[in-house]
Amino acid sequence: MSCDFEDSACGWDLRTISSLKWTRTNQMNISLSEPLKGPGRDHTTNTVAGHFLYVTKPDVMKSDWTSFQSPPLAPTNDTHPCRMVMYTHQFGRVSGGLSVLVAEKQIYPVWERGGALGDLWVKAEVEFVVNSTFQILFVAAIRDQASGGIAIDDIVLSPECQLSNESMSRPEFPKPPAHPCTDDDLKICDFKEDCPAGEDEAHCGDFSYELGSSGWTDTSIGSQAWELKLEYNDTLKEEFLTVTGAPGQQLSEAQTRTPLLGPSGPACILQFSYSLSGSNPHIGDLAVYVVDSVLGTHPVLWEFSGRTNEMAGIWVKEEVYVGARDHRFQLEFRARAEALSPSTQIAVKDVHFVDCSALFVPSGEISCNFEINLCGWYQDQTDHYDWRLHSGMDHTVHDGRSLVVDMWDTSLRGLSGRLLSVRQYSNSEHCLSFFYKLYGPNTGALSVNLLFADSSEELLWTRNGAHGNVWHEGHCSVPPQLTTFQLVFEATRSGFDGQLALDDVAFVAGPCSLPTMCSFESQTCGYTSSGRARWIHQSWASTKIGPKTDHTLETENGFYMLAHSSSDVLPEGSVTTLTSPVRRGLSHTECVNFWYHTGGEKPGTLKVYVKPTDGNRIQLFSSTIRQGHAWRHGQGNVNWHGDWQLEFEVKGEGDLFSFIAIDDITYSTHSCPTTDSICDFEKGLCGWSNTQNPSVDWLDWDLTSVQAEMFYSTPPYDHTLYTEEGHFLVLPNSQRDTATQNAWLLSPHLAPTKGTCLSFWVYQPTMYDTKLTVWRLSEGTRHELLTLHEGGGNWKLFSVNITSETEYQIVLEGFKGEKGVLALDDIRYTVGVNCAGQKTDQSKSSSYTSSDNTGTIVASVVVVIVLLMLLAALLVFYLKTKHKANALIQESNVSHINCVGFGNDIYESGNAERMEGVNKHTEP
């Protein structure tokens, strides 16, 4: 007898004495647009149209349980039991659990599955041996939460389950249980003393109680086992668990477990002392595991291998974080001795559960420097690995503590590790600020999420890829919330070589100041739109309009800000402006870096301004580039010392299907580098960048110094300063599976050239291990310029001439070795000057534009004034003085170029003749 609920309920009685009802339905009738309701598909047909039985929280909750039952079934026996197979879907916080009961003379449970199991159908099998007519009763418990539900499908009864025509007497519910303090069988280990003397917690494995040690049960099956021993020393009783011989034959670990514990709270810690003593240098292994009642055995929580001391009686104290666990669980000590002897000991004592009650809430203060503890943060137990407190590397006091995830840790398993804050409530805007490291060629990503009570999440901030072995400041705005929420720091691994670190977290009321880095991945960072059209915060995946990938993540799901410059949105001559929050003025020059992308034949003009709070706008950058689909780098110096805002202005040119996009805006506390200056990596990457495109490389070049490095091999010093403090780019050696994988370092887009010289210093001491290839990338095609297998035992200079008839980028592609180190420093390209020092480019393409028209305006004014004065004074001498006037004009232009500095001046449309004049004027 079976039922898939496609046509009917198959005789199952859906009536119940509860006001909450089971319903036969399908996902189409529930909601296709809300994934937090319903199982998504039935189990039988795996479609949204397939039917199942379903219950969830109603709009008005009057009851928290519901039931349905089978028709009466004939008695069974041990040789011919009635067997039932079914599939259940228990998803979200609404799911309190599902039970199967037998109703005969009395009602009693035979099977149960508590809580939520995830968004999947799970098979269950139940066997019934009942010597009288009976019914199978299904009872679901529903919690007052926002998401999830319980579904049942494909109930199949074996042939031994026969329908009965006999009438059944009304079954009786069992009598209420005795008080847990009077019946030992009903005492529950939940870290909360319900009895006057705490006797309900006395057998739970906590040595704080007189019989706490008796709560440990040996579950060993091999030749070693745990034994509880008592020793008296000067009338003092010492009680401990120790590993001893056992009659089993298997060479398996000795295992001992607590009774079922919990649920536990976020601050739960296991304390104990341990000793591995004896004459051998390696006594054995000791580990702590958690065995979840629903999810099974979790990865190891803590482990030790070797010897703690030679003599017995010396103990090492340890604390192991257990954290919040929704299901009941057992703690387990596992041990294996290399050899058992009277002089060898593996022992554990003084076991205590600290702050483990689910009702215990740690301090709500989540601003933390992690020097003493985690403050109001705790580890998520539904993830794969934990953040760990690390001493000797922090942002606060340099040799203090920070939270770290080492991707190269061989004990790490799975994809992500999550750090949760205690629940917060805020009806006003707050700012979360912190310092972070993303270091290593294969380090992954760091994200900040908002976690709500219904288990839904909202991304607030994210960074990925290599950011160097240096601390960066991050902050994100947390909008006002109507309900409680938690903040989540999530580390997501992309490989096995890297490190994430977190320190100095602050959560303060009020909006964030202008962030030093904005990727637009989750928020607009306070940037606002004004003008004829609006800037749109979007991804290509959601709109199919704009750049196909963002610059930050290089995926279709990455976000950026986009201005439609089509004539139907932004008519010719109209403008739209994207404005930043106010940035506090500094006493020194800042460099604004950003990436922009254009689309269409005439995308319009992009101009970037500094807008002082008490003055006129100052132009930093201007571009009308319309070549190819690529993200281009822009930058400009800010010398304004008062408060100011950054403005991105797009002016339409009357084209159809055109746009300009902005991504990855950063502020550096130093001036921008010029095109011909050496990039020594002391102030960043100077416009060079790692790509996150998985189709071209796997790894990232990373910024570090000898002084900061604690894991990888490096050159003995940098090339610029010849010190351990100097910085360089490195692709370090590794015996992980990332060896032989590649990393691209990309220059900005460069104008066509008849001869540009690229020079760089390389540290590459091992032959045929690492490899460095230099490419010219133009119109999607690579042209090999140079390949190095060995640079030598010291820093060595290399240079190569580059010619290109089209726009191009330089690619420095490194291949990681198993033994050798590959490092770069002091990179330089001299635009329009070849490696012999000869000037090759006298003008630049008109498709490249630049920063500022101030010089042209000044020159024009000077020309007019000079001509008027000369004409008014002596018209007859005009022809004789014309040459002097031209010289003055040229001199004015040269003065302007020298004071502006780098800002894509050489790319400005209409500047070709002016730059040619400058080149001639400055020749010796």
Six-digit token string for 658: 């055109």
Q: Which domains does the chain have, with CATH numbers?
A: 2-157 (2.60.120.200), 199-354 (2.60.120.200), 377-513 (2.60.120.200), 521-668 (2.60.120.200), 678-839 (2.60.120.200)
pLDDT of residue 36 exceeding 80: no
pLDDT of residue 906 exceeding 50: no
Average pLDDT value for residue range 487-515:
89
Average pLDDT value for residue range 683-708:
88
Average pLDDT value for residue range 571-598:
91
Mapping DSSP onto H, E and C, the string for 570-611 reads CCCCCEEEEECCCECCCCCCEEEEEEEEEECCCCCEEEEEEE
The predicted-structure confidence for 800-825, as pLDDT tens digits, reads as follows 999 999 989 999 999 988 888 899 99
Average pLDDT value for residue range 244-267:
90
The whole-number pLDDT of residue 185 equals 53
More confident residue, 184 or 140: 140
The whole-number pLDDT of residue 890 equals 33
DSSP 295: T
pLDDT of residue 910 exceeding 50: no
pLDDT band at 2 (very low <50, low <70, confident <90, very high): confident
The whole-number pLDDT of residue 350 equals 94
> Which backbone phi and psi does 47 adopt, to 5 degrees?
-135, 165
The whole-number pLDDT of residue 846 equals 33
Q: Which uninterrupted H or E stretch holds 856?
A: helix 854-873
pLDDT of residue 883 exceeding 80: no
Beta-carbon neighbour count of residue 431 at 10 Å? 17
User: What is d(CA 404, CA 176) in angstroms, rounded to the nearest whole number?
Assistant: 50
The mean pLDDT of the chain is: 83
Average pLDDT value for residue range 433-451:
90
The whole-number pLDDT of residue 487 equals 95
**Locus of tokens 């170029």:** 897
**Locus of tokens 């929580």:** 301
pLDDT of residue 792 exceeding 90: no
The whole-number pLDDT of residue 557 equals 85
Q: Which of 499-508, 815-824, 832-841 has the lowest mean pLDDT?
A: 815-824
Length of the chain: 924
The whole-number pLDDT of residue 521 equals 83
Q: Which of 437-446, 750-759, 806-815 has the lowest mean pLDDT?
A: 437-446
The sign of the CA dihedral 152, 158, 160, 164 is positive
The whole-number pLDDT of residue 631 equals 92
Q: Which of 687, 707, 697, 720 is nearest to 824 (CA)?
A: 720
Beta bridge partners of 499: 406, 439
Six-digit token string for 605: 């003009």
The CA-based angle 475-481-482, given to 5 degrees, is 175
Are 711 and 736 a contacting pair, CB within 8 Å?
A: no
Q: Which of 290-304, 448-462, 716-730 has the lowest mean pLDDT?
A: 290-304
User: What is d(CA 697, CA 125) in angstroms, rounded to the nearest whole number?
Assistant: 49
pLDDT of residue 918 exceeding 50: no
pLDDT of residue 916 exceeding 60: no
The whole-number pLDDT of residue 496 equals 80
Q: Percent of the chain scored above 70 by pLDDT?
A: 87
The predicted-structure confidence for 297-328, as pLDDT tens digits, reads as follows 887 889 999 999 988 888 999 999 888 888 88
pLDDT band at 723 (very low <50, low <70, confident <90, very high): very high
The whole-number pLDDT of residue 915 equals 33
User: What is d(CA 904, CA 122) in angstroms, rounded to the nearest whole number?
Assistant: 61
Q: Which of 717, 641, 637, 643 is nearest to 674 (CA)?
A: 637
Dihedral through CA 855, CA 857, CA 862, CA 867, nearest 10?
140
Average pLDDT value for residue range 191-204:
84
pLDDT band at 649 (very low <50, low <70, confident <90, very high): very high
Six-digit token string for 764: 């590459």
The whole-number pLDDT of residue 523 equals 83
The whole-number pLDDT of residue 175 equals 55
Q: Which range among 456-470, 479-493, 725-739 has the greatest average pLDDT?
A: 479-493
More confident residue, 570 or 390: 570
Burial of 659 (0-12, 13-18, 19+ CB in 10 A): buried
pLDDT of residue 187 exceeding 90: no
Six-digit token string for 892: 């004015």
Beta-carbon neighbour count of residue 640 at 10 Å? 18
Average pLDDT value for residue range 418-424:
90
Q: Which of 277-286, 452-461, 484-493, 499-508 has the lowest mean pLDDT?
A: 452-461
What is the identity of the amino acid at 264? S
pLDDT of residue 173 exceeding 80: no
Are 448 and 462 a contacting pair, CB within 8 Å?
A: yes
Identify the three-state secondary structure at position 889: helix
The whole-number pLDDT of residue 198 equals 80
Identify the three-state secondary structure at position 901: coil
DSSP 563: E
Average pLDDT value for residue range 4-9:
86
User: What is d(CA 95, CA 881) in angstroms, rounded to the nearest whole number?
Assistant: 93
pLDDT of residue 872 exceeding 60: no
User: What is d(CA 786, CA 810) in angstroms, rounded to the nearest whole number?
Assistant: 12
More confident residue, 77 or 907: 77
CA 519 to chain centre: 14
The predicted-structure confidence for 101-129, as pLDDT tens digits, reads as follows 999 888 888 998 877 887 889 999 999 99
Average pLDDT value for residue range 506-520:
86
The predicted-structure confidence for 776-786, as pLDDT tens digits, reads as follows 999 889 999 99
Average pLDDT value for residue range 217-234:
88
pLDDT of residue 887 exceeding 80: no
User: What is d(CA 767, CA 714) in angstroms, rounded to the nearest whole number?
Assistant: 16
The whole-number pLDDT of residue 534 equals 93
More confident residue, 339 or 176: 339
pLDDT of residue 335 exceeding 90: yes
Beta bridge partners of 537: 561
Average pLDDT value for residue range 247-251:
85
Q: Which range among 151-160, 206-215, 377-386 has the greatest average pLDDT?
A: 151-160
Q: Which of 483, 479, 480 is nearest to 454 (CA)?
A: 483
The whole-number pLDDT of residue 528 equals 93
Helices H / strands E in the chain, number of each: 5, 52
The whole-number pLDDT of residue 683 equals 84
pLDDT band at 362 (very low <50, low <70, confident <90, very high): confident
Query: Under 8 Å CB-to-CB from 432, ≥6 apart: which residues?
Result: 448, 460, 475, 476, 477, 478, 487, 505, 506, 507
Are 746 and 689 a contacting pair, CB within 8 Å?
A: yes
Q: Which of 738, 735, 719 is nearest to 727 (CA)?
A: 719
pLDDT band at 853 (very low <50, low <70, confident <90, very high): very low
The predicted-structure confidence for 10-26, as pLDDT tens digits, reads as follows 888 887 777 888 999 99
pLDDT of residue 217 exceeding 60: yes
User: What is d(CA 580, CA 506) in angstroms, rounded to the nearest whole number?
Assistant: 23
pLDDT of residue 8 exceeding 70: yes
Are 513 and 583 a contacting pair, CB within 8 Å?
A: yes
More confident residue, 43 or 909: 43
The whole-number pLDDT of residue 179 equals 54
The whole-number pLDDT of residue 882 equals 39
SS3 content of the chain, % helix, strand, coil (to 5): 10, 40, 50
Spell 775-807 as b/e; 16+ CB within 10 A means b: bbbbeeeeeeeeebebbeeebbeeebebebeeb
pLDDT of residue 665 exceeding 80: yes
Provide the strand spans (E) within 735-879. Answer: 742-746, 753-764, 771-778, 781-788, 792-804, 809-815, 822-830
**Locus of tokens 């460099």:** 591
Identify the three-state secondary structure at position 905: helix
pLDDT band at 632 (very low <50, low <70, confident <90, very high): very high
User: What is d(CA 885, CA 256) in angstroms, rounded to the nearest whole number?
Assistant: 97
* DSSP letters spanning 647-661: EEEEE--S-SS-EEE
More confident residue, 827 or 114: 827
pLDDT band at 494 (very low <50, low <70, confident <90, very high): confident
